[in-house]
Amino acid sequence: MSAVTIELFLQQTVNAVSLGGTYALLALGLAIVFSIMGMINFAHGELMTISGYTLFYCGLAGVPFIVSVPLAILVAMLAAMAMERIAFRPVRNSSPATMLVTSFAVAIILQTLFQNLISTRSQPVLLPDILAESIAIGDFLIGVNKLLAIGATIVMLLFLNWFLKRTAVGVAMRAAAEDFPVARLMGVRANAVISGAFALSGLLAGVAAVLWVSQRASVDPLMGFVPVLKAFIASILGGLGSLTGAVAGGFLLGFIEIYLTAFLPEALQEFKEPIGLGIVVLVLLWRPNGLIPAAGVGTEKV
């Protein structure tokens, strides 16, 4: 390999880690809710969109970015908890199909609200100039936004690991994910633990939204749809309901997408999506339950 291709390879690897990290955060949010409630929350993407619009309006109001970012994340957490309280609690003990349809309904209602109350068009989000700059390391350039995305992903993964292993609530969440009725026997309150799971998933969606918007500088009503679809694929790839699996699946999907875009011959570029999904299918044929399956797959929920 010549020097140029090694640099290109490193550059694309940074891109892959950055994109994969965002997918990993989103897939983790889906996995946390799924492991506890047995529900795939397709409205997870709308939490991202809500965060995106918070950044947009903060920009309009002249709120500094350093304030609007935590605000956008906080809004996603509150929105996630409200979603659970209003839409998902009433169907908590229903069949998985009912819960899935409910989450689709929430997603579509929110998308329609964004389109009618805000705009169907994409809105520009003001970003600090520093995000568009690059840092040179030797001969290769890394975008500040990419570095921040990687840093934020690492911090979130460390935080989540600490929270789930070192706090009583985190341990209770893991217990509830494994065996909900027995967790209740221990005195773990179902409402509190489910609400907490949604708050965590909102936190992850909010951080992912900030990273997503930092790369694109815009927000539109369907902003969350594609990344969450990707995160869903990532969580299946990693093993549905498994948290480590979600992280592994997110990164793997990020690598597949970026490397295909970068290294696939010109003539095949228009087929990169089907080729990427083909690789996903091959991985699933090899490991039908995903890379790192959840321990308690198929156990009773709530």
Partner 1 sequence: MPLLDVTGLHVRYGAVDAVRGIDLKVEEGELVALLGANGVGKSSTLNAIIGLVPVAGGAVRFRDEDVSRVPTELLVRRGLTLTPEGRRIFAGLTVEENLSLGAYGRRDAKAVSSSYERMYGLFPVLTERRQQLAGTLSGGEQQMLAIARSLMSEPQLLLLDEPSLGLAPQIVETIFDLIGALRADGITILLVEQNVAMSLDLVDRGYVMTGGAITASGSADELKSSNLVEQAYLGGH
Q: How far is the CB of 86 from partner 1 (least distance, A)?
A: 22
Residues 227-266, one symbol each (x = binds partner 1 by CB under 8 A, - = not), give ----------------------------------------
Is 24 a binder of partner 1 (CB under 8 A)?
no
Q: How far is the CB of 248 from partner 1 (least distance, A)?
A: 17
Query: Of 258, 182, 23, 76, nearest to 31 (Cα)?
Result: 23
Is 94 a binder of partner 1 (CB under 8 A)?
no
Is 189 a binder of partner 1 (CB under 8 A)?
yes
Q: How far is the CB of 166 from partner 1 (least distance, A)?
A: 10
Judged by CB under 8 A, the number of residues near partner 1 is 19
What DSSP string describes 23-65? HHHHHHHHHHHHHHHS---TTHHHHHHHHHHHHHHHHHTT--H
**Residue partners of 141: CB distance under 8 A and separation at least 6:** 11, 134, 135
Nearer to partner 1, 174 or 216 (CB): 174
Say how far apart CA 231 and CA 263 lie, in whole Å: 23
Query: Of 163, 201, 210, nearest to 58 (Cα)?
Result: 210
Is 190 a binder of partner 1 (CB under 8 A)?
yes
Residues 148-187, one symbol each (x = binds partner 1 by CB under 8 A, - = not), give --------------------x--xx-xx--xx-xxxxxxx
What's the residue count for the chain? 302
Query: Of 42, 22, 49, nearest to 123 (Cα)?
Result: 49
Contact residues: partner 1, CB under 8 A: 168, 171-172, 174-175, 178-179, 181-190, 295-296
